[in-house]
Amino acid sequence: DAGVIQSPRHEVTEMGQEVTLRCKPISGHNSLFWYRQTMMRGLELLIYFNNNVPIDDSGMPEDRFSAKMPNASFSTLKIQPSEPRDSAVYFCASSLGTSGGQETQYFGPGTRLLVL
- Per CB under 8 A, does 43 bind other proteins? yes
Q: Does residue 54 interact with other proteins by CB under 8 A? A: no
DSSP string, 95-115: E---TTS----EE---EEEEE
Residue 12 binding other proteins, by CB under 8 A: no
Q: Does 14 bind other proteins (CB under 8 A)?
A: no
Which residues within the stretch 72-101 sit at the binding site for other proteins (CB under 8 A)?
91, 95, 97, 100-101
Where do contacts with other proteins occur on this chain (CB under 8 A)? 31, 33, 41-45, 48, 50, 55-56, 91, 95, 97, 100-110
